[in-house]
Amino acid sequence: MRVLRRTLGALLALGAAPAMVTACAPAHGDDARPGDDPPAALAPFERLLPAPVSARAEGPGYSFGPGTVIRTGRPDEEVRRVGELLAEQLRGPSGLPLPVVDGAQGDGIRLRIDEGAQEVGDEGYRLESGPSGITLTARTPAGLFHGGQTLRQLVPATGPGTVPGGTVTDRPRFAYRGAMVDIARHFFSVEQVKRYVDQLAQYKVNTLHLHLTDDQGWRLAVDSWPRLAEYGGASEVGGGPGGHWTKDEYRELVAYAGQRYVDVVPEIDMPGHMNAALASYAELNCDGKAPERYTGTKVGFSSLCVAKERTYEFIDEVLGELAGLTPGRYLHIGGDEAHATPAADYAAFMDRAQAVVGRYGKTVVAWHQLATARPARGSVLQYWGHDKTPAADRAAVVAAAKAGHPLILSPADRLYLDMKYDAATKPGLAWAGYVPVQRAYSWNPGAYLAGVPESSVLGVEAPLWTENVATRAEWELMAFPRVMGLAELGWSPAAALDWASYGRRLAAQAPRLDAQGIGFFRAPDVPWP
């Protein structure tokens, strides 16, 4: 999976006449041709990313300034937290005090829970802006949070000013909108991952998948097996010092993400990708001999000992501790590239591993190779194939989807953020081909796998593997702006997916990325300012 496998159409009018942008009417037509006049600047509602279900600019706007307050409506601790976080996010660029107060009466930014607002679903919202203030309405606090992220794109970038008048009504297309980061190949701190959570959440990504273990390192402390982190975590690709997170650090990250309505999905990859564990404990090896720690980038050579009962005690204790630390519904058990495990042994192992996950009240997520074994009832498969994936492998995934297993789509030649943009990209790999920004965006998850209806697609996820990504600068260069396309693919209606429109809206996000210190890739096919 990680190395080469051999085998909205006129501009919105912000004055008296209302204008509408909907998913059925992309804001702009064909790409400009050489010699054409430069396109007019986008109006505020046209710049929104991800594209909302609908946006109407109408009438005068709201004067955002020193007197603005955030009103949380009825006393509610969670809504209050949403308001406090929104105030913190808006204070940064504006420098305004933005106090948060209870009660719904008065001007300012009003947060309103309306459980009867069925049209926005569990994560959607309605944003209404006018002279008396801005009202965010949602059925849930998560919806209010997402509405607040849209508001962040509408407020003046550098301080007091006018938020345009109008209405946005919005809800997500897919329930699962994820990004994965591999901290096993190269170790990264909790603070860096928190930074990524903030970067993702502002574009309505709601899931963080953590690849915590692999051949090169074990990154989370486990009380019942302490050498996993102490010894197995003290290495990484290239021979660096590695590192690991304490359980308190992991809890801190989970809580931080949860406050931003991002669920954490932890992954312990098994039965392959296990050299760090095998090096830590000789008893996990069939011959009772621990291998050396591994700092290279090959895959498929390691395997837990399927025949040993001690192996299942190990996975029960590890997954039990992990389940206790993780409030979300999913545990990811990997299952990919188990080339050193015979097929029958693989199926038998995955039967027992899935049963362990179920005993701890969690839902299995595994890479799509689980489709070749016996996926447990309700288990979720994550597809990382690409245009050259063998037809038989695709057929197994399609059959699993037809049997009721939801799919997360992570096609390597579309959403793998460690794939190089082009031949000149310094970090990253290219075994799935180059993935320029337009290619990463220009596909339809609901119709990607022939024979799989959109109803079988739980969502999309963009993984970032780190064999060749060792620094924050490299991480952010590879993730941005492609992960923003992932956000739109997961959130926006299918009819809104239009490259010409998206490219202009993406370009309009450049000042935000610059202000946040994100060193993004300035793709030549995007009309950056």
Question: Active-site residue numbers?
Answer: 337
Tell me phi and psi for residue 514, to 5 degrees.
Answer: -60, -45
Token pair 């804001």 is found at: 27
Whole-number Å distance between alpha carbons of 204 and 407: 20
Give the C-alpha distances (Å, rounded to integers) separating 307 from 51, 336, 341: 51, 19, 11
Instruction: Please name which of 432, 271, 415, 410 lies closest in space to residue 337, comparing C-alpha atoms.
Output: 271
User: CB under 8 Å, gap of 24 or more: what pairs does 357-361 form?
Assistant: 357/319, 357/323, 357/331, 357/333, 359/316, 360/319, 360/320, 360/323, 360/324, 360/331, 361/323
- Residues 460, 521 contacting (CB under 8 angstroms): no
- Residues 279, 291 contacting (CB under 8 angstroms): yes
- Residues 479, 427 contacting (CB under 8 angstroms): no
Give the C-alpha distances (Å, rounded to integers) separating 216 from 300, 334, 354: 13, 15, 24
Token pair 């202009």 is found at: 504
| 407-409 and 380-383 beta bridge pairing | parallel
Q: Which two tokens stand for residue 359?
A: 């005993």
**Residue 500 CB contacts under 8 Å (≥ 6 apart), including other chains:** 26, 28, 29, 30, 31
Sequential DSSP letters for 93-147: HH-----EESBS-SSEEEEEE-TT-GGGTTT-EEEEEETTEEEEEESSHHHHHHH
Q: Which two tokens stand for residue 320?
A: 């039990």
Cα torsion 352, 353, 358, 363: sign: negative
Instruction: Please name which of 73, 126, 124, 123 lies closest in space to residue 100, comparing C-alpha atoms.
Output: 73
How many CA atoms does the CB half-sphere of 58 hold within 13 Å?
12
Exposure string for 216-228, b = 16+ CB within 10 A, e = fewer: bbbbbbbeebeeb
